[in-house]
């Protein structure tokens, strides 16, 4: 059973994260940038000989606190990624030293026999100046952990997309080995590499990281709404609704206002809903 008081008062150590241009390129490659060798706009994210820029979604791996849920007794095979938000306060440097400070902001009890939600927030700051670069918010769904006596709900209603046809549709393929590449960013949950761990979690085979899908969707958004200008994306949020298997195609339907949703083409399954991105000029 979850210990509500322990989780709400949990003190996670700050993470000092030093990275360089190779790490920035690795992240971009791991979410599919560079698959079209003739698209020079993508090369700005993966070719160190150019004026390299960072993917805004890289905020999710900077200052990563690791699989800390396992450290408080949570069975990782029962953990699903529910929602993800990022807010960019300025473009992420392509190299540097940052401090990631993560804290639990909410623990929600969905009821006995159901599940629980744990919401955490990470603030990413430059070590040298303390300047805030990005804030991320993660909601994890814990299957079967409900009924511990905590609060039953919090937060506002999810963003509703327009009831019109999308203005853009972007198909981006993933690769069969993409989860294995994405793991090099620091998330080595065996669910994404080990067939037996995937089966224990209820999947036929290893699935793609939710945050890898998040990066692929971010690519689609900056492609059509920002013309690959990474500095224009200010925020992005979505709710995950189904997993992606490596090798599948992610289709993102996008409205000019920044609303979006995504599905897997091969299975016609919606994998991300209630999406909203905001852009600056």
pLDDT value for 63: 97
- End-to-end, the C-alpha distance of the chain in Å comes to 48
pLDDT at 29 over 80: yes
CA atoms 216, 217, 218, 224: torsion sign: positive
Q: Which has more confidence, 176 or 114?
A: 176
Cβ proximity of 236 and 198 under 8 Å: no
pLDDT at 153 over 90: no
Cβ proximity of 180 and 207 under 8 Å: no
Cβ proximity of 210 and 81 under 8 Å: yes
Select from 20, 177, 9, 239 the least CA-distant residue to 104.
9
Cβ proximity of 107 and 118 under 8 Å: yes
pLDDT at 154 over 70: no
Instruction: Please compute the mean of the pLDDT values over residues 225-248 and round it to a whole number.
Output: 97
Give the mean pLDDT of the chain. 95
Q: Where residue 26 falls among pLDDT bands split at 50, 70, 90? A: very high
Taking the model in full, what pTM does it have? 0.95
Q: Where residue 156 falls among pLDDT bands split at 50, 70, 90? A: low
Instruction: Please compute the mean of the pLDDT values over residues 210-231 and round it to a whole number.
Output: 98
Would you name the residues annotated as active-site residues? 187, 192, 207, 210
* Beta-sheet strands, E only, within 198-268: 233-240, 249-254, 259-264
| Domain assignment of residue 191, given as a range | 4-279
- Percentage of the chain exceeding pLDDT 90: 83
- Convert the pLDDT of each residue in 48-78 to its tens digit: 999 999 999 999 999 999 989 988 889 888 8
pLDDT at 235 over 80: yes
The structural domain count of the chain equals 1
pLDDT value for 252: 98
Q: What is the CATH number of the domain that holds 147?
A: 3.10.129.10
Instruction: Please compute the mean of the pLDDT values over residues 241-257 and round it to a whole number.
Output: 97
């Amino acid at each position: 059973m979850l210990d509500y008081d322990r989780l709400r008062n949990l003190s996670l150590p700050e993470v000092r994260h030093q990275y360089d241009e190779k790490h920035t390129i690795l992240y971009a490659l791991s979410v599919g940038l560079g698959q079209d060798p003739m698209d020079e706009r993508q090369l700005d994210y993966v070719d160190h000989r150019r004026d390299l820029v960072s993917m805004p979604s890289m905020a999710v791996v900077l200052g990563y606190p690791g699989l800390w849920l396992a450290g408080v007794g949570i069975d990782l095979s029962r953990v699903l990624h529910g929602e993800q938000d990022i807010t960019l306060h300025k473009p992420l440097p392509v190299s540097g030293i940052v401090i990631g400070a993560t804290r639990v902001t909410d623990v929600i009890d969905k009821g006995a026999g159901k599940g629980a939600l744990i919401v955490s927030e990470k603030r990413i700051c430059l070590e040298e100046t303390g300047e805030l670069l990005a804030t991320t918010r993660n909601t994890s769904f814990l299957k079967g952990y409900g009924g511990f006596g905590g609060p039953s709900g919090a937060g506002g209603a999810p963003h509703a997309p327009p009831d019109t046809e999308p203005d853009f549709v972007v198909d981006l393929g993933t690769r069969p080995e993409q989860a294995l590449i994405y793991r090099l960013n620091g998330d080595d949950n065996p669910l994404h590499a080990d067939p037996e761990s995937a089966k224990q979690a209820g999947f036929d085979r290893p699935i793609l990281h939710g945050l890898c899908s998040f990066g692929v969707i971010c690519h689609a958004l900056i492609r059509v709404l920002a013309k690959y200008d990474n500095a224009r994306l200010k925020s992005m949020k979505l709710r995950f609704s189904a997993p992606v298997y490596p090798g599948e195609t992610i289709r993102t339907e996008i409205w000019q206002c920044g609303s979006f949703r995504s599905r897997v083409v091969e299975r016609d399954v919606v994998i991300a809903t209630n999406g909203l991105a905001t852009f600056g000029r």
